């Protein structure tokens, strides 16, 4: 399958030339094409921000919702139709800040979705305020003396919550990022891929060069089934490890656990609406209230 099936044709892309969002868009299209996922069987769910605009630039089913709210919408879409491939994709601010509560509880629910986070360590769309992953000392027009809060560590949180699949990638490495995304999409429960991505306009600290110099790939000997080792690696901050930190394939997904899908595997749209049963339920509810 050709990655061009996901192209939307002639449109203005509102990202700055050189932005790390471009390679992520390209890598994802190629990954999905390699996996032979048809645009009709895919749903891309995003929130608000520069990264969240990715849903505008993809020819597929999309849901571009409220700030920080991509994950509950993605969970519901997957539960309503488990035959779909569902990707929830947004920025570090959207997923870890405004959507932080959903991030935690989606990992607990464990739906079979892929959660891709464009982590540029800044609020790009709103012109450069610190985000939850901004580094200590990062100066912005708001944090004039530099950020003094310790950055949020999404990988350590996800591993602590025993997420199904936890990885970190770099937008500047198409080959490795594609390999990681392929495994994440194939994984049969919640999968987090935090992609380090330069914002060339508002983050002059974490540049392409900075990521090249401050990241390294996990050693071949790293065992992703070893949760303690994965946690230890996730808490390394001197240099940032890249790769697949943790996989737990034993967990049942949300869709495997919910009663409505245990009794009947069909997506909701294929089922008959049982009006009679519904009216009995409503009448019963009325009489008890
Ligand atoms: C409820 C709400 N709060 C704040 C905003 C303003 N706002 C829009 S995007 C954004 C930050 C997005 O940052 P991030 O998710 O990191 O995306 P980026 O632009 O960096 O890709 C903020 C604070 C908003 N639109 N809605
Ligand atoms: S402001 Fe930053 S994140 Fe937004 S498009 Fe420009 S470079 Fe990319
Ligand atoms: Mg951001």
**Of ligand 2's atoms, which has the minimum distance to the CA of residue 128?**
1
Q: What is the pLDDT of residues 230-256, one digit of tens each?
A: 999 999 999 999 999 999 999 999 999
Q: For 85-108, give one letter per residue: b (16+ CB within 10 A) or e.
A: bbbbbbbbbbbbbbbbebbeebbe
Instruction: Find the 150 Cα to ligand 1 centroid distance in Å.
Output: 20
What pLDDT, on the 0 to 100 scale, is given for residue 273? 79
Confidence of residue 54 (pLDDT cuts 50, 70, 90): very high
| pLDDT at position 277 over 90 | no
Tens-digit pLDDT profile for residues 23-53: 999 999 999 999 999 999 999 999 999 999 9
Could you identify the atom of ligand 2 that is nearest to the CA of residue 50? 4
Ligand that lies nearest to the alpha carbon of residue 95, given by its number in the listed order:
1
Distance 267 CA to ligand 3 centre (A): 34
Model confidence band, residue 288 (pLDDT cutoffs 50, 70, 90): confident
Q: For residue 286, what is the enclosing H or E element?
A: helix 275-287
Mutation test residue for ligand 2: of 12, 14, 18, 21, the one with most atoms within 8 Å of CB: 21
| Range 196-214 average pLDDT | 97
Cα 17 to averaged position of ligand 2 atoms, centre (Å): 8
* pLDDT value at 263 more than 90: no
- pLDDT the model gives residue 27: 98
Ligand 2: residue whose CA is nearest its atom 5: 15
From ligand 2's centre to the CA of 128, what distance in Å?
A: 9
180 φ, ψ (degrees, to nearest 5):
-65, -45
Mean pLDDT of 185-212: 97
81-90, 215-224, 247-256, 277-286: the lowest-pLDDT one: 277-286
Residues 269-273: contacts with CB under 8 Å, at least 24 apart? 269/80, 269/81
289 has pLDDT over 80: no
With the most atoms of ligand 2 within 8 angstroms of its CB, the residue from 16, 17, 141, 197 to mutate is 16
Q: Which atom of ligand 2 is nearest to the CA of 198?
A: 7
Say how many C-beta atoms besides its own lie within 10 A of residue 32's C-beta.
Answer: 26
Pocket of ligand 2 from Cβ distances under 6 Å = 15-16, 19, 21, 50, 120, 124, 199-202
Least reliable range by pLDDT among 67-71, 113-117, 165-169, 274-278: 274-278
CB-CB contact of 116 with 142 (8 Å): no
Domain boundaries, the chain: 3-287
Q: Judge whether residue 217 has pLDDT over 80.
A: yes
Q: Would you say 88 and 71 are in contact if contact means Cβ atoms under 8 Å apart?
A: yes
Q: 131-152: per-residue pLDDT in tens?
A: 999 999 999 999 999 999 999 9
pLDDT band at 11 (very low <50, low <70, confident <90, very high): confident
Average pLDDT over the chain, rounded to whole?
Answer: 96
Task: Say how far apart CA 74 and CA 46 lie, in whole Å.
Answer: 9
Main-chain dihedrals φ then ψ at residue 111, nearest 5 degrees:
-70, 155
Q: Give the residue from 143, 131, 137 showing the smallest Cα distance to 99.
A: 131
Per CATH, the homologous superfamily of domain 3-287 is: Thiamin diphosphate (ThDP)-binding fold, Pyr/PP domains (3.40.50.970)
Note the ligand closest to the C-alpha atom of 199: 2
The contacts of residue 36 (CB under 8 Å, 6+ apart) are: 1
Expressed in angstroms and rounded, the spacing between residue 11 Cα and the centre of ligand 3 is 23
78 pLDDT higher than 90: yes
């Amino acid at each position: 399958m050709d990655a061009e099936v996901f192209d939307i044709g002639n449109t203005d892309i509102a990202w700055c030339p050189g932005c790390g969002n471009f390679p992520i868009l390209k890598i994802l299209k190629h990954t999905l094409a390699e996996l032979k996922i048809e645009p009709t069987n895919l749903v891309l769910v995003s929130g608000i921000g520069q990264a969240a605009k990715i849903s505008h630039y993809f020819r597929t089913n999309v849901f571009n919702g409220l700030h920080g709210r991509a994950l509950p919408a993605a969970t519901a879409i997957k539960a309503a139709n488990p035959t779909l491939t569902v990707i929830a994709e947004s920025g570090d601010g959207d997923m870890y800040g405004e959507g932080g509560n959903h991030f935690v509880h989606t990992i607990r629910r464990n739906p079979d979705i892929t959660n891709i986070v464009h982590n540029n360590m800044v609020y790009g769309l709103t012109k450069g305020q610190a985000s939850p992953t901004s580094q200590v000392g990062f100066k912005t027009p708001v944090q004039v003396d530099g950020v003094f809060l310790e950055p949020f560590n999404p990988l350590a949180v996800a591993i602590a919550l025993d997420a199904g699949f936890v990885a970190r990638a770099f937008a500047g490495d198409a080959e490795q990022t594609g390999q990681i995304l392929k495994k994440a999409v194939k994984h049969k429960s919640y999968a987090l891929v935090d992609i380090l991505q330069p914002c060339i306009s508002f983050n002059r600290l974490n540049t392409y060069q900075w990521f090249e110099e401050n990241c390294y790939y996990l050693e071949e000997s790293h065992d992703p089934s070893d949760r303690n080792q994965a946690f230890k690696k996730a808490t390394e901050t001197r240099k940032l490890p890249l790769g697949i930190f943790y996989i737990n394939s034993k967990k049942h997904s949300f869709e495997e656990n919910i009663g409505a899908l245990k009794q009947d595997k069909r997506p909701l749209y294929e089922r008959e609406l049982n009006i009679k049963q519904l009216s009995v339920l409503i009448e019963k509810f009325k009489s008890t209230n």
